[in-house]
Amino acid sequence: MHVFFTYFTSKILDERMNAATQVTRRQFSTQDPQKYIVINSHGLDRPGIVADITQIVTDKGGNVGESQAQLLGGHFAIMMLVQIQSSDVDSLSKQLRENVKGMSTSVFDAISPKKAEMSPKIGCEYFIYTC
């Protein structure tokens, strides 16, 4: 009985391990599917510009990280740092240019804010002399 139980338990475990192995096998790409872009849009001010741009970005699955906006003399300008799937950048850019009325929009590649480094590094060295 003990031998049968051990054999049966071992067979069940082997089947589960094989099933788990098949389910969890994935192919990973060397490229990161997520990409950071900067959206720069400007034109005459009107209500709803930010909502229009943000809606298009989120509909494409993008995430707005940081943004800056300015109103000067009746003109509105906005810059957004957006994280989005690499495959959706071109269609997002096209959709922004075509569907945000009265605005001129450009899209630029950016680096991850986590990877950004300042160069040259500004710093000071202090020397303490004691007697």
Amino acid at 41: S
Buried b (16+ CB within 10 A) or exposed e, 37-55: bebebbbeeeeebeebbbe
Per-residue pLDDT averaged across 42-49, rounded?
95
Whether the per-residue pLDDT at 119 is higher than 60: the answer is yes
Task: For 65-111, write each residue's pLDDT tens digit.
Answer: 999 999 999 999 999 999 999 999 999 999 999 999 899 999 999 98
Whether the per-residue pLDDT at 131 is higher than 70: the answer is no
pTM for this entry? 0.63
Give residue 119's Cα distance to chain centre.
Answer: 24
